[in-house]
């Protein structure tokens, strides 16, 4: 496979193939969604976030709401707070403790149910991390260097030399998914290469240790469930929503802070409001957000506003978003008053994840012939 081959159309082959594979992933995702509706008990889902900041409405509409939906549909769920990933591309991990608890609090506030969902941190699960060693033996260095997400993340660090952990973190992420033998991973399309790497590792492990054609493969083939809609949400300045740009609205913010941020949002000079994602991306973004909060279409919202202009749009969005987030924020405030409860929950999640990871590591060592007692 070459990355540099250029077709007549001037489009790189790598891009063309990834467009095609993206379409395949989308089709596959739609089929899986149907299967989940039929029998959720066939699935075990693993997903997670890096504790690098606070969760915002992009996360909420892009992935969090979907996690809750899957959990409530009866899919067994694991959520990793990926603290070891934080140190892959930075020297300073930041206030980890505060961020880990902020994530946990956000999860609970939006409706993740700790009785049904296991929430844990990487650093508390030794057996998960140990899977990294046999997994690293199954991948080649060029495979790792080719990973487009790793490349993009490395470029984003502008000149910083790539750490060994950044290069190999897709393998660590495979350990996240495979320690609990998850077969379902809801992801954005930027994470698809990691999922493919996970599938390759699972397959190679069972091939190398003679389980591929047995009726007892150690690992399942994890499938991506592509998140819809969320990636369409931009920040209040019309660019990609990102914690570091300060253009986000965080779940933990107050209604007043939310109102201020929306007031400052970028629109355009045309008064009459229309839904035109191509030519009016900033206005379209605010319309989409309003629509998501009120279960309508962006076009409907635009038609209602019409000559009301950007001011009316912002007012509508502020009301809709604050109303949508009010119960989340109330629950969040309540949880924050009980740090002991949060600590116990995390300890419990870690304990459950450890039991699962220990069992998987035993399966792995057994397959490898590395149990000597
Ligand atoms: N890399 C993911 C992100 O940056 C977080 C993550 C860690 C994850 N481990 C995972 C996502 C396993 C899915 C599956 O958002």
State residue 12's pLDDT score.
Answer: 45
State residue 16's pLDDT score.
Answer: 52
Q: Are residues 165 and 269 in the same domain?
A: no
Provide the CATH number for the domain around residue 111.
3.40.50.620
Question: Distances from the Cα of 23 to the Cαs of 26, 28, 189, in angstroms?
Answer: 5, 9, 11
User: Which domain, by its residues, includes 271?
Assistant: 255-336
Q: Indicate the top mutation candidate among 77, 166, 173, 231 to test ligand 1's pocket, ranked by most ligand atoms within 8 A of CB.
A: 173
Q: Are residues 346 and 324 in the same domain?
A: no
Nearest protein CA to atom 6 of ligand 1, as residue: 48
Query: Which of ligand 1's atoms lies nearest the C-alpha of 173?
Result: 9
Pairwise CA distance, residues 170 & 332, whole Å: 32
Q: Are residues 125 and 176 in the same domain?
A: yes
Query: Which of ligand 1's atoms lies nearest the C-alpha of 169?
Result: 1
State residue 229's pLDDT score.
Answer: 57
Q: Are residues 302 and 165 in the same domain?
A: no
Q: Name the domain count of the chain.
A: 2
State residue 14's pLDDT score.
Answer: 52
Establish if 17 belongs to a structural domain. Answer: no
CA atoms 174, 178, 180, 181: torsion sign: positive
Q: Are residues 201 and 290 in the same domain?
A: no
State residue 15's pLDDT score.
Answer: 54
Q: Are residues 286 and 196 in the same domain?
A: no
Pairwise CA distance, residues 195 & 203, whole Å: 12
Establish if 239 belongs to a structural domain. Answer: no
Q: Are residues 228 and 274 in the same domain?
A: no
State residue 96's pLDDT score.
Answer: 97
pTM of the model: 0.91
State residue 1's pLDDT score.
Answer: 36
| Contacts of residue 202, Cβ cutoff 8 Å, sequence gap at least 6 | 174, 178, 218, 219, 220, 221, 222
Ligand 1, CB within 6 Å, residue ranges? 46-50, 80, 82, 85, 173, 176-177, 185, 187, 191
Pairwise CA distance, residues 64 & 233, whole Å: 14
Q: Are residues 225 and 261 in the same domain?
A: no
| Contacts of residue 154, Cβ cutoff 8 Å, sequence gap at least 6 | 89, 160, 162, 166
Q: Are residues 193 and 266 in the same domain?
A: no
Q: Running along the chain, 373 residues long, what does each successive block of 10 average in pLDDT? A: 36 59 87 93 96 93 92 97 96 94 98 97 98 98 94 90 96 98 92 94 97 92 81 86 86 96 95 96 96 96 96 97 97 97 98 98 98 96
Q: Are residues 207 and 58 in the same domain?
A: yes
How far, in Å, is the centroid of ligand 1 from the Cα of 94? 18
Provide the CATH number for the domain around residue 289.
1.10.240.10
State residue 6's pLDDT score.
Answer: 34
Q: Indicate the top mutation candidate among 45, 46, 48, 152 to test ligand 1's pocket, ranked by most ligand atoms within 8 A of CB.
A: 48
State residue 13's pLDDT score.
Answer: 46
Nearest protein CA to atom 15 of ligand 1, as residue: 49
Q: Are residues 289 and 358 in the same domain?
A: no
Question: Distances from the Cα of 32 to the Cαs of 181, 252, 370, in angstroms?
Answer: 17, 33, 36
State residue 17's pLDDT score.
Answer: 57
Establish if 302 belongs to a structural domain. Answer: yes
Establish if 106 belongs to a structural domain. Answer: yes
Query: Percentage helix, strand, coil, to 5, in the chain?
Result: 60, 10, 30
Nearest to 337 by CA among 101, 18, 96, 33: 101
Nearest protein CA to atom 13 of ligand 1, as residue: 47
Q: Are residues 75 and 208 in the same domain?
A: yes
Establish if 168 belongs to a structural domain. Answer: yes
């Amino acid at each position: 496979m070459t990355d540099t081959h250029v077709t007549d159309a001037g489009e790189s082959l790598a891009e063309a193939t990834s467009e095609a594979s993206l379409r395949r992933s989308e089709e596959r995702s739609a089929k899986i969604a149907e299967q989940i509706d039929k029998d959720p008990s066939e699935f075990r889902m693993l997903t997670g976030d890096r504790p690098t900041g606070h969760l915002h409405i992009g996360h909420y509409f892009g992935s969090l709401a979907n996690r809750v939906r899957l959990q409530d549909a009866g899919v067994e769920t694991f959520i990793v707070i990926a603290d070891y990933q934080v140190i892959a591309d930075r020297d300073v991990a930041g206030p980890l403790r505060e961020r880990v608890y902020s994530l946990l609090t956000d999860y609970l506030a939006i409706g993740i149910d700790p009785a049904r969902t296991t929430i844990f941190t990487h650093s508390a699960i030794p057996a998960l991390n140990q899977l990294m060693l046999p997994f690293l033996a199954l991948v080649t260095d060029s495979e790792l260097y080719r990973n487009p997400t790793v490349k993009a993340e490395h470029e984003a660090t502008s000149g910083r030399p790539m750490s060994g952990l950044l290069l190999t973190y897709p393998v660590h992420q495979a350990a996240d998914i495979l320690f609990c033998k998850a077969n379902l991973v809801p992801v954005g399309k930027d994470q698809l290469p990691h999922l493919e790497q996970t599938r390759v590792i699972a397959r190679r492990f069972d091939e190398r240790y003679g389980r591929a054609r047995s009726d007892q493969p150690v690992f399942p083939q994890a499938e991506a469930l592509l998140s819809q809609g969320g990636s369409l949400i931009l920040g209040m300045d019309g660019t990609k929503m990102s914690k570091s740009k300060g253009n986000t609205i965080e779940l933990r913010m107050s209604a007043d802070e939310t109102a201020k941020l929306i007031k400052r949002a970028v629109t355009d000079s045309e008064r009459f409001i229309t839904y035109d994602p191509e030519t009016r991306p900033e206005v379209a973004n605010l319309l989409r957000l309003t629509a998501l909060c009120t279960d309508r279409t962006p076009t409907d919202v635009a038609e209602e506003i019409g000559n009301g202009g950007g001011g009316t749009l912002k007012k509508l969005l502020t009301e809709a978003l604050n109303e949508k987030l009010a119960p989340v924020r109330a629950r969040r405030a309540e949880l924050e008053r009980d740090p002991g409860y949060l600590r116990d929950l995390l300890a419990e999640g870690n304990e459950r994840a450890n039991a699962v990871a220990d069992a998987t590591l035993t399966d792995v060592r057994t397959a490898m012939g590395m149990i000597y007692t």
